[in-house]
């Protein structure tokens, strides 16, 4: 199965954003700092995941 680097980044960013948002709303409020942390988690994960190339499957060149 071949997954493009774009979809890999989108899924990773969504997972990081969901985790950060879940942590941010534990106290029942969402502050500006929490919002910034969620945005930075999503953007950081998108960038890092997009930069790492997919590994070639074994047996294919």
> What are the tens digits of pLDDT across the range 20-44?
999 999 999 999 999 999 999 999 9
Question: H helices then E strands: how many in the chain?
Answer: 2, 0
- Which pLDDT value is given to residue 55? 78
Average pLDDT, the chain: 87
Domain boundaries, the chain: 5-51
Higher-confidence position of 60 and 17: 17
Residue 6 confidence class, pLDDT cut points 50, 70, 90? confident
- Number of Cβ atoms within 10 Å of the Cβ of 16: 20
Percent of the chain at pLDDT exceeding 70: 92
Cα(25)–Cα(17) distance, integer angstroms:
12
Q: Is the pLDDT of residue 49 over 90?
A: no
């Amino acid at each position: 199965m071949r997954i493009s680097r774009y979809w890999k980044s989108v899924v990773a960013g969504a997972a990081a954003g969901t985790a950060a948002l879940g942590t941010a709303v534990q106290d029942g409020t969402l502050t500006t700092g929490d919002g910034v942390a969620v945005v930075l988690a999503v953007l950081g994960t998108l960038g890092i995941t997009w930069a790492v190339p997919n590994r070639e499957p074994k047996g294919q060149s």
